[in-house]
Amino acid sequence: MSMATTEDGTAGRIADQAARGTTPAIARRIRGLSDKAIAWLFIAPTILLLLAINIFPLIWTIYLSFTNYQANRPNRPITHVGTKWYQDILSSPDVWAAMQATAHFVFWTILLQTLIGFGLAYLIDRKFRGHAFWTTIILIPMMLSPAVVGNFWKFLYQPQMGLFNYIVSFFTGIEPSSFEMLGSVSLSPWSIIIVDTWMWTPYVMLICLAGLRSIPDYIYEAAEVDRASPLRQFWSITLPMALPFIMLAVLFRGIENFKMFDMVNLLTGGGPGSTTEVASITLKREAFEKWRTGYSSAFAIILFVAVFGLANIYVKALNRVKQR
């Protein structure tokens, strides 16, 4: 009771100080407003900012996707083309190939990151001596900038002096300069998958570790009493209870990799040819090399709908995890 009174007194004093700090003219103006109006007054700048930098460009992009606008020829009269760009994109074998390159990248990165990430989380959860140190070491790649990672992996992949080729050579006996990770049609998609897996597996590990740590010990104790084998405990307790967290990691990495641009642009730029041309690279080429702004706007909207849909599923999965 006395504590509540003290808190009320402190809050009152702060409110008095704030009121004294407000100029009389503003105070007079605010005094006549309702609580709701004052709340709107405080939120309004943020909403205006969001409208200006998020909502307006989105609506403008939707509008441009129905026109033949070209950003490098702004004075050309704009004509409406209807859904032509959408039809072109959704029937183009080239864009379909870019989508397949994206799918290849997303599928393999998610598979590798989930398997390695969960494996690492399972090991770290054993709490062996020095596990905190190894957790920090494992997390380092995730903290680096993609620009830095892209550049130094470019050096590691150099056929003449790159460390990666020498390590492969050490284990397989193949001549280091006999293969080129970034220049080969068959190896370049894998070079990007390796880098992304190296960088983002720690993130998946962190989420999986949170899932593993959330499993109460008494469930394992009950399983011990029932003489369940470690393998049985893993399949019947660990995996089902960590599954919502794994799903969360899969969805998050799926969304991120679906719109992957920086790493691919730095490592291969979409090449050799169009082997590693994922959807975002195609979009950049259409928008800023061919200057087909209307076409690329339609493409951006298609990608946006895919990401927005996946984000809805992500939020739903997040709520399910929260309910646990």
Partner 1 sequence: MSDLLNRLLRLRRGPWENLATIVIALGVLMLLQPLSLTLYTYSFATMLAGTLMFVIVSKFPE
CB of 104 to partner 1, least distance (A): 9
- Residue 80, beta-bridge partner list: 67
| Distance between CA atoms of residues 292 and 273, nearest Å | 21
CB of 159 to partner 1, least distance (A): 30
| Distance between CA atoms of residues 113 and 199, nearest Å | 9
Residue 212 or 278: the one with the smaller Cβ distance to partner 1 is 278
CB of 308 to partner 1, least distance (A): 6
Distance of CA 150 to the CA centre of its chain: 17
CB of 254 to partner 1, least distance (A): 9
CB of 320 to partner 1, least distance (A): 11
Which residue has 């190896």 as its token pair? 187
- Selection from 278, 266, 214, 218 nearest residue 242 by Cα: 214
CB of 247 to partner 1, least distance (A): 12
Residue 86 or 134: the one with the smaller Cβ distance to partner 1 is 86
In single-letter form, the type of residue at position 202 comes to P
Which residue has 């397949």 as its token pair? 100
* CA distances from residue 107 to 100, 151, 199, 251 in whole angstroms, order as listed: 10, 24, 16, 11
Residue 106 or 194: the one with the smaller Cβ distance to partner 1 is 106
Residue 69 or 314: the one with the smaller Cβ distance to partner 1 is 314
| Distance between CA atoms of residues 112 and 130, nearest Å | 25
Query: Phi and psi (nearest 5°) for 67?
Result: -125, 175
Q: How is 172-205 classified by DSSP, letter by letter?
A: H---GGG--TTT-TTTHHHHHHHHHHHHHHHHHH
- Selection from 260, 279, 281 nearest residue 269 by Cα: 281
Using an 8 Å Cβ cutoff, are 96 and 243 in contact? no
CB of 13 to partner 1, least distance (A): 42
Residue 16 or 94: the one with the smaller Cβ distance to partner 1 is 94
3 state SS of 214: coil
| Distance between CA atoms of residues 83 and 94, nearest Å | 19
Residue 153 or 196: the one with the smaller Cβ distance to partner 1 is 196
Instruction: List residues binding partner 1 (CB under 8 A).
Output: 86, 90-91, 93, 96, 99-100, 102-103, 106, 302, 305-306, 308-310, 312-313, 316
Residue 109 or 238: the one with the smaller Cβ distance to partner 1 is 109
Residue 235 or 308: the one with the smaller Cβ distance to partner 1 is 308
CB of 218 to partner 1, least distance (A): 30
